[in-house]
Amino acid sequence: MKIVLLEGNALGKDIDLSVFGKLGEVTVYGQSNAEDTPEKVKDADIIIVNKVPMNEQTLKDAPNVKMIAITATGYNIIDKAYTDSRGIVVANVGGYSTDSVAQHTFALALYLIDQMDYYDKYVKSGEYIKSDIFCHIDKKIFELAGKTWGIIGLGAIGKKVAQIAEVFGCKIVYYSTSGKNNSSGYERVSLDGLLERSDIVSIHAPLNEQTENLMNIENFRKMKSGAILINVARGPIVNERDLVTALNEGMIAGAGLDVISAEPMKAGNPLMEVQDSTKLIVTPHIAWATGEARQRLTDEVYLNVEAFLQGKRRNVI
């Protein structure tokens, strides 16, 4: 079997990809795109991919492809009608990053809540050396205990965040974007109710017609002026221009983002207008990427391919 791994760099240079050599003849590319992929996969039996679209354009000259193994949970890169018409098996990986993303959710939230950027700069600027008092409390910080944490999308990651927030002493409310999720352990509310009540709002929902542009100027106006927004789900759920307006006009106190509308970020993205990290912190889609999570992902992809070669269906979509 000829196995082509198109985006090895996305798994990290510290992850050993040679293990796939046990399953066949492996070619690893660091990065690929829709234009160069047809040539790279023309002789492939199995393709391991993350972001490159898998459709007629990229696959039409690859007659031997029998399986596509996605190094992710989402499979919107797949033209399922086309792969089905070719009889190509597609498998994904779920659950590998739950702990990692939940952890990053709190890293973003606590950085803003405790005003880490301001206080770190205060000390390193030398101002603390000049101080005549042991503490400096110009920027207000607050406790999570007793606050309301609103979760948009109570899937596996949302539930993990809820569990951790409860340990901090938060009251949990959630909004089901599909309208189908009823968790007896937490209070389900409308989106308006969640935005109006929550001190922290974190997004863990999929991107679809119901969630795209969900957080727009109209909904920012419904939030508390001291509230924090965290998005570790999908970038287009938040209208970035409206978020900048909300931050600049004091509709909300701060936002932490790990995902943005186009990745990598494009020149001219309005988020670049907010250089104050006490209001906005943006990380480059790393919430999923702890070493442990990337190793779990790689292990699961290996098992998906191994199962396929054994005639079994594992994580097939």
Arithmetic mean of pLDDT, 189-210: 96
Tell me the average pLDDT of the chain: 97
CB atoms within 10 A of CB 265: 16
Which of 152, 128, 147, 126 is closest to 138 using CA atoms? 128
Give me the amino acid identity at 254: G
- What three-state secondary structure class fits 113? helix
Alpha-carbon distance of 26 to 15, in angstroms, equals 15
Arithmetic mean of pLDDT, 4-16: 96
Alpha-carbon distance of 202 to 174, in angstroms, equals 10
Which of 3, 23, 17 is closest to 310 using CA atoms? 23
Q: What is the pLDDT of residues 34-89, one digit of tens each?
A: 999 999 999 999 999 999 999 999 999 999 999 999 999 989 999 999 999 999 99
**Does residue 234 carry a catalytic annotation?**
yes
Alpha-carbon distance of 58 to 33, in angstroms, equals 9
CB atoms within 10 A of CB 247: 21
CA distance readout (Å), 127 to 118, 137, 174: 12, 13, 42
| pLDDT band, very low/low/confident/very high, at 181 (cuts 50, 70, 90) | confident
- Strand intervals (E) in the chain: 2-5, 25-28, 46-49, 67-70, 89-91, 148-152, 171-175, 187-188, 200-203, 228-231, 254-257, 280-282
**pLDDT at site 33:** 97
Q: Which residues pair with 28 in a beta bridge?
A: 5
Which of 120, 144, 119 is closest to 230 using CA atoms? 144
Arithmetic mean of pLDDT, 206-210: 92
Q: Which of 234, 240, 294, 300 is catalytic?
A: 234
**Residues present in the chain in total:** 317
Strands in 171-175's sheet, in edge-to-edge order, are: 187-188, 171-175, 148-152, 200-203, 228-231, 254-257, 280-282
SS3 content of the chain, % helix, strand, coil (to 5): 35, 15, 50
Structure token pair of residue 12? 């990290």
Cβ contact 47:69 at 8 Å: yes
Rounded percentage of the chain residues whose pLDDT exceeds 70: 100
Q: Which of 86, 285, 306, 314 is catalytic?
A: 285
**pLDDT at site 183:** 73
* pTM for the whole structure: 0.93
Cβ contact 49:78 at 8 Å: no
Q: Which of 263, 273, 292, 313 is catalytic?
A: 263
Alpha-carbon distance of 217 to 220, in angstroms, equals 5
Is the pLDDT confidence value at 184 over 80?
no
Give me the amino acid identity at 244: V
Mind giving me the DSSP string for 213-238? T-B-HHHHTTS-TT-EEEE-S-GGGB
Give me the amino acid identity at 53: P
| pLDDT band, very low/low/confident/very high, at 182 (cuts 50, 70, 90) | confident
Structure token pair of residue 106? 């709190």
**pLDDT at site 254:** 98
Is the pLDDT confidence value at 279 over 90?
yes
**Does residue 104 carry a catalytic annotation?**
no
